[in-house]
Amino acid sequence: MLRKKSVLGCLIFLAAVTVAAQVEVPSSRPELHTIVQRMEQAAQENRDQYKAYIVTREYRLFGGDQEKSGSKVVADISFTPPKSKEFRITETAGSPRGENVVRHILENEQRATESGQAPGAVVSDNYEFTTAGEESLDGHPCYVLGLTPKRKEKSLIVGRAWIDKQTFLVRRVQGEMAKMPSWWIKSVQVTLDFNDVQGMWMQTSTVAHADVRVFGPHTLQENAVKVRTGSVVAELNKNKPRRSFRSAEAVLGSFEH
C-alpha cells in the first residue's frame, strides 16, 4: 500500500510539473504598437537635439572579387539645423565610378534634408511592423522588428530593424531595397548602423552589396570617420556660400536616409 501511494504521489507530482511547464509565462516585452510609438518618439526627441556638425565620411567601392577597393572617396558633409546640408568631396582615388556613386548619394541626401523629409525613416508612415524576437547587438539588448514597406520605393528596405531596449532608438536596419534604383541593379542587400556621436544619434556606417547586371557583384562601404560640432562649425556653415551640385549617374543608385 505504501508503495502504491508513493507511485501515485510521483505521478501526481509529474503531472503537476507538466502542467506548470505548459503554463505560459507572461512576457515582459511591450506590445508591438508600444515599441513603435516609443521608437518614433525617441527619433523625434533625437532630431530636436541635433546641433550644427561636419561629418567626414569615407566611401570605398569594391568590384567583383576584389579584396582591395577599386575606388576611395572622402567627403565632408556639413549640417546646420533644421534643414541646411551641403557636402564637399575632399579626396578621390582609383576608378572615377566611385566618385559618381558618392556624389549621387550625397545629392539625394542633400535634397531630402532641405525638403524636411526623411524618405527612408523607420516609421509607421513608411512601414508595416511585425515582432521578430529579441537579440543583443554589440552588447546592447534590442527588440527586433520585421519591416514591410508600404510602398515600393528605393529608400525603403524589406528586412529587419534592431531597436535598443533602453533608448528605443534604431541601432541597425538590414535587408533588401524595396525597389531597385535602375535596370542595371538586380538586387541590393543593405546594412545601416546607427550610434551615438557627441550626443546625437546618427548613421555611422553603411554596407551595400549589389548584384549588377553584366558587371557582377559590387560592394559599397561607408564609414563616418570624424565628426566636428560646436559654434565654430555653425559659424563656418553660416558664412559659407551656397553652391549647387550637378546630378551624376550612379552605378549602384542612391541610398536615401
pLDDT for 24 equals 40
> Mind giving me the DSSP string for 70-99?
SEEEEEEEEEETTTEEEEEEEEEEE-HHHH
Q: Tally Cβ neighbours within 10 Å of residue 108.
A: 21
User: Is residue 134 situated within a structural domain?
Assistant: yes
pLDDT at 12 over 50: no
> Closest Cα to residue 62, out of 255, 214, 212?
212
C-alpha distances (whole Å) from 43 to each of 36, 236, 241, 255 are 11, 27, 31, 19
Percentage of residues in the chain having pLDDT higher than 70: 76
Cis peptide preceding 141, ω within 30 of 0: no
Residue 5 within any structural domain of the chain: no
Q: Is residue 164 situated within a structural domain?
A: yes
Q: All 3 cell numbers of residue 251?
A: 552605378
Closest CA relative to residue 171, chosen from 199, 127, 224, 135? 135
Q: Is the pLDDT of residue 230 over 90?
A: no
What number is the average pLDDT over the span 32-47? 96
| Angle, CA 110 vertex, CA 243 and CA 256 arms, to 5° | 155
Residue 234 resides in a domain: yes
Measured distance CA(244)–CA(86) in Å, rounded? 9
CATH number, domain at 62?
2.50.20
pLDDT digits (tens, 9 = 90+) for 79-120: 998 889 999 999 999 989 899 989 999 998 998 888 776 778
- Residue closest to 121 by CA, chosen among 233, 39, 228: 39
Q: In the chain, how many domains are there?
A: 1
pLDDT in tens, 127-167: 999 999 999 999 999 999 999 999 999 889 999 999 999 99
Note whether residue 254 is domain-resident: no
17 is a domain residue? no
Is residue 232 assigned to a domain? yes
Q: Considering the chain, what percentage of its residues have pLDDT values greater than 90?
A: 55
Residue that has been written with the C-alpha cell 582591395 in this structure: 68
Res 64: pLDDT: 74
Tallying the residues shown for the chain, one arrives at 257
Q: State which residues form the domain around 46.
A: 32-239
Flag whether 145 is in a domain: yes
Q: Choose among 168, 147, 177, 171: nearest CA to 159.
A: 147
pLDDT at 118: 75
For residues 59 and 83, give the distance between their C-alpha atoms in angstroms, rounded to a whole number: 24
